[in-house]
Amino acid sequence: MRGLDTPVKKIRRKVFTEIAKVGFMSSEETLTADVEAIPYTIVQERATYRESIYRERAVASERVRLAMGMSLRPENKSVHITAGIEASNIDEKYYEPPLMQVIPSACDGCEPNKYEVSNMCRGCVAHPCSAVCPKGAITIIKGRSVIDQEKCIKCGKCKAVCPYDAISHKERPCAKACGVNAIESDGQGRAIINNDKCVSCGMCMVNCPFGAISDKSQIFQLAHSLKEGGEIIAEVAPAFVGQFGPSVTPKKFKAALLELGFSDVYEVALGADIGAISEAHHYAQKVHTGELPFLLTSCCPSWAELARNQFPDLIDSISQELTPMVATARSIKKEHPNAKVVFIGPCASKKLEASRTEVRSDVEFVITFEELVGMFDAKNIDIESFEGDSSLHDATGAGRGYAVAGGVASAIESCLKEYYPDIPVHIEHAEGLAECKKTLMLAKAGKIKNCMIEGMGCPGGCMAGAGTIAPYKNSSAALKKFVSFSSKALPAKELQEITLD
């Protein structure tokens, strides 16, 4: 459902807008009352999507807490909607784990895994479904097939042979989208997230049709900080291209961010350029020489977390280079040591990365494009109406290309061919956590070696991340143009030393 303008997306946008308004406009005296009023602003006279106004407001209340950066309330005792708000009413508020949470009152308790015969069954004479079932779980009742769920082992053979596609496979959309099998069930059959497995990619969130999964946000804290003033600099991921409509140019986008209150705007692709250079050197010095069997890229936090959690013996092969977000932030703070840096991008797991102690001094805030739209709405900023005085000129086409699957590999390969023309290059890439996991298994088994391996947690790469708002087809096409129009195709070999030394 990524890229579709669904009611779930509209609800989330309303919540982000109202929370941003509170951050920009509320005083200490009115804060609690203003937050308490939001569920009533969002759900007014009648329920639109659920069976009662009370349940709809209960769900909205939990969304408000998550958008404030707070955790969900327990179901077994009374906790006020604004309980703990004092800890969130500070600029330095970071995400408390877990980042991704299932709102119990919003979850519909979907069947986790079930094969079921639909009314499409025509009661054919052959009954191939019954013939292939290894457990005799299918019987014929009144000419129609019926599956005994006690006997069914969920092998799917019946569905594969049905000539009328009359057998459906019911799966939880969130579980189907999770490449690390982190979605489990609670005692009432509702989805819960196993935080020991979750890598915060957000694919469960964007694929839940009930909008029952959400991540925590810093939009309130950022809006509050922008209201207070000071030097606050935005670093924008290259995936911004095409997110806000075909007529929104980089120049317009930058002007809108300055209007929102940012002091300046940098491209995260600058850090990607630095990373591409570093990875090229690392490949030549470590992989080509045989010191390492392969090198895993580190720019995607979900991919890196998957490798650390489930393949700990491959840790030495994970690149130690700075991610584009951190490399850009450090470049900014070299020039602006007292500035607060805000990463704006498509990625939920960047929030996880920024919450780490070693990154907190570099990146103070992380928000997604989806959350940014709510902030623009709160200040009545129409991006298309801006002209702007200057565009973005911090990066090359190589760094900007990081935003799509295969883009990291392409940038590193191009740098290698430029800097080390005599070294043969072998680069693999995987997208989506399920494919990433398979690739890591092959690497561990020695089936993939002497190469650089790019992993992207989201299918399609950053342009299809959980925090994007535009259809992937449109945004990726816009990025391709943006890359081709770059004044420089590749970063200079000396960029890393000049920027970070």
DSSP 195-264: TTT-----HHHHH-TT--EEE---HHHHHHHHHH-S-EEEEE-GGGTTTT-TT--HHHHHHHHHHHT-SE
Q: How many domains are there within the chain?
A: 3
Q: Same domain for 322 and 407?
A: yes
**329 within some domain:** yes
Cβ atoms of residues 436 and 458 within 8 Å:
no
First to last CA, the chain: 43
Q: Same domain for 270 and 123?
A: no
Domain of residue 124, CATH code: 3.30.70.20
Three-state DSSP class for residue 433: helix
C-alpha–C-alpha distance, residues 420 and 281, integer Å? 9
**360 within some domain:** yes
**259 within some domain:** yes
DSSP 142-173: TTEEEE-TTT-----HHHHH-TT--EEEEE-H
Q: Same domain for 162 and 13?
A: no
- What pLDDT was estimated at residue 355? 85
C-alpha 466: how far from chain center = 3
Dump pLDDT digits (tens) for 355-406: 888 888 899 999 999 999 999 999 999 999 998 788 888 899 999 999 999 9
The radius of gyration of the chain's CA atoms, rounded to the nearest angstrom, is 24
C-alpha–C-alpha distance, residues 80 and 70, integer Å? 12
**167 within some domain:** yes
Cβ atoms of residues 314 and 450 within 8 Å:
no
Q: What is the 3-state secondary structure (H, E, C) of 351-372?
A: HHHHCCHHHHCCCCEEEEHHHH
Residue after which a domain boundary falls, among 90, 124, 143:
90
**29 within some domain:** yes
- Strand bridging mode 294-296 / 340-345: unpaired
C-alpha–C-alpha distance, residues 143 and 148, integer Å? 16
Residue after which a domain boundary falls, among 90, 125, 147:
90
Mean of pLDDT over the chain: 92
Residue 109 is classified by DSSP as -
- What pLDDT was estimated at residue 197? 95
Which helix (H) or strand (E) segment holds residue 308: the answer is helix 301-310
- What pLDDT was estimated at residue 496? 55
**What pTM was computed for the model?**
0.92
Q: Same domain for 122 and 86?
A: no
Counting beta carbons within 10 angstroms of the beta carbon of residue 344, is it exposed (0 to 12), middle (13 to 18) or buried (19 or more)?
Answer: buried
Q: Same domain for 347 and 241?
A: yes
Hey, what are 458's tokens? 């989201």
**287 within some domain:** yes
CA distances from 53 to 29, 50, 351, 392, 393 (A): 29, 7, 32, 46, 50
Q: Same domain for 28 and 162?
A: no
**205 within some domain:** no
- What pLDDT was estimated at residue 495? 67
Residue 97 is classified by DSSP as S
Residue after which a domain boundary falls, among 171, 189, 208:
171
Q: Same domain for 85 and 117?
A: no
Dump pLDDT digits (tens) for 182-205: 999 999 999 999 999 999 999 999
Q: Same domain for 50 and 121?
A: no
Cβ atoms of residues 330 and 439 within 8 Å:
no
C-alpha–C-alpha distance, residues 454 and 440, integer Å? 11
Q: Same domain for 149 and 227?
A: no
Q: Same domain for 82 and 123?
A: no
Taking the chain (501 residues) in consecutive chunks of 10 residues, what is each chunk's mean pLDDT? 84 97 94 95 88 93 94 89 86 79 95 93 95 96 94 96 96 95 94 95 95 95 94 97 93 96 97 93 93 92 94 91 94 96 95 85 95 98 89 91 92 92 92 96 94 94 94 93 92 63 50
Q: Same domain for 295 and 357?
A: yes
Q: Same domain for 269 and 343?
A: yes
**350 within some domain:** yes
The whole domain housing 404 covers 221-492
